[in-house]
Amino acid sequence: MIREEYENLWNEVKNAQKILVIGHRKPDGDALGAMCAIKIWLKSIGKEVKLACVDKPTRKYSFLPFVDEIETKINLNETDLVIIVDCGAHYMTDFHEIHPKILSFNNTEKKPFIVNIDHHSSNDNFGHINIVDQKSASTTMILYEIFKYLDVVISPDMATCLIAGIYNDTGSFMHSNTSYEVYAVAGDLLRSGAKVSGMIKSLFRTNTVSTLKLWGRAFEKAQISDENYIYSVVTEDDLQKIGQSDQVSGAIDYLNMVPDVNFSLLLQEDRSHVKGSLRTRRDDIDLSEIAKKYGGGGHPKAAGFSMDKDRYLKM
């Protein structure tokens, strides 16, 4: 069934000229890798392609081609086709607030046509075409399968984009979703010319002093709850004194290294919202179900949510 959707995607691409590719807010390596890989592909067949995200990517993703062309505003009146990648639910783009009738779960309108490509279990199938594979380690893994099915030649730049998404969502091949298929695809992307050394340096071997200080603040405040999960909070005051909100995310992976806890939780104040990141190494805990209770989603072992600060303070 899902390969029929590959054909449907190709038919829509052939019939469209102006195509918009959207990723989720606070974009990570999987969202950005998918967006940039799609742009390379579509440009190669003569399409006009724009990339959009409500948040600009951080500098560590500057190795990705076209990442500097991502815009923070969209004009759907100038778009034939919208491809939304790596969004576990329709609201993860944040563009639904500006275009509620178009980017919504119950959209039945046909302009613009929306293709939803994702791998999160929380995905609410908001597209006209939904290519959603919860078993896939990353959205770029799904794109790899699409490209192979459509006989798209994967260039070195495309290979770099695709492997960046895999590297991101498997925790550099350390998470439990690192399967035989993941290694096989990564190997093929290396044969296609993926530039891995620069990617690794940018993603995992480059941190500013302020980033390390923010992580240290999170570690200093870490506690283990009565329910046996480790948690910490990075406040707005911490950010004002030390660094920026986009520097916090990596700390959750270190909190998750603490043995014998059920899961780890990192809360971060972000203006009028509180963001929560969840990680676990246990097989009998589904963090996506916990995140759903707070309006979020994700995977069984890695999930997140965002809530109004007023709601958080009342809890």
**DSSP assignment of 270-297, as one string?**
ETTEEEEEEE---TT--HHHHHHTTT-E
The dihedral region occupied by 20, where left means phi > 0, alpha psi between -120 and 50, and beta the remainder, is beta
Retrieve residue 175's tokens.
Answer: 């998470």
Same domain, 124 and 178: yes
Same domain, 189 and 284: no
Same domain, 73 and 127: yes
CA atoms of 194 and 205, how far apart (whole Å): 18
CA atoms of 232 and 219, how far apart (whole Å): 7
Say yes or no to pLDDT of 99 above 90.
Answer: no
Domain boundary among 151, 185, 201: 201
Same domain, 51 and 100: yes
The dihedral region occupied by 128, where left means phi > 0, alpha psi between -120 and 50, and beta the remainder, is alpha
Q: What is the mean pLDDT of residues 236-242?
A: 86
The answer to whether 136 and 119 have CB atoms below 8 angstroms apart is yes
Predicted pLDDT of residue 101: 63
Say yes or no to pLDDT of 303 above 80.
Answer: yes
Asked which of 9-18, 172-181, 189-198 is least confident by mean pLDDT, the reply is 172-181
Domain boundary among 170, 201, 232: 201
Same domain, 132 and 157: yes
Give the tens place of pLDDT for each residue, 72-91: 999 888 899 999 999 988 88
Say yes or no to pLDDT of 314 above 80.
Answer: no
CA atoms of 197 and 139, how far apart (whole Å): 21
Say yes or no to pLDDT of 286 above 70.
Answer: yes
Domain boundary among 141, 167, 201: 201
Band (67; pLDDT cuts 50, 70, 90): very high
Same domain, 214 and 197: no
CA atoms of 80 and 82, how far apart (whole Å): 7
Asked which of 31-35, 154-158, 272-276 is least confident by mean pLDDT, the reply is 272-276
Give the tens place of pLDDT for each residue, 38-62: 999 999 999 999 999 999 998 889 9
The answer to whether 299 and 286 have CB atoms below 8 angstroms apart is no
Same domain, 8 and 142: yes
Band (241; pLDDT cuts 50, 70, 90): confident
Same domain, 119 and 143: yes
Q: What is the mean pLDDT of residues 15-41?
A: 95
CA atoms of 256 and 274, how far apart (whole Å): 20
For the chain, give the number of residues: 315
What is the pLDDT of the chain when averaged over all its residues?
89
Band (109; pLDDT cuts 50, 70, 90): low
Say yes or no to pLDDT of 255 above 90.
Answer: yes
Predicted pLDDT of residue 270: 75
Same domain, 32 and 163: yes
**Residue 300: is the preceding peptide bond cis (ω within 30°)?**
no
Say yes or no to pLDDT of 108 above 60.
Answer: no
Report how far apart, in Å, the C-alpha atoms of 216 and of each of 108, 154, 193, 232, 276 are.
48, 41, 37, 11, 18
Say yes or no to pLDDT of 206 above 80.
Answer: no
Q: What is the mean pLDDT of residues 278-295?
A: 90
Same domain, 39 and 169: yes
CATH code, domain carrying 112: 3.90.1640.10
Predicted pLDDT of residue 225: 96
Q: What is the mean pLDDT of residues 215-243?
A: 92
Same domain, 107 and 253: no
Retrieve residue 289's tokens.
Answer: 């179900």
Give me the number of domains the chain comprises: 2
Predicted pLDDT of residue 103: 65
Band (162; pLDDT cuts 50, 70, 90): very high
Same domain, 154 and 261: no
Band (315; pLDDT cuts 50, 70, 90): low
Say yes or no to pLDDT of 216 above 80.
Answer: yes
- Of 38-52, 98-112, 123-137, highest mean pLDDT: 38-52
First to last CA, the chain: 43
Residue numbers of the domain that contains 65? 2-201
CATH code, domain carrying 297: 3.10.310.30
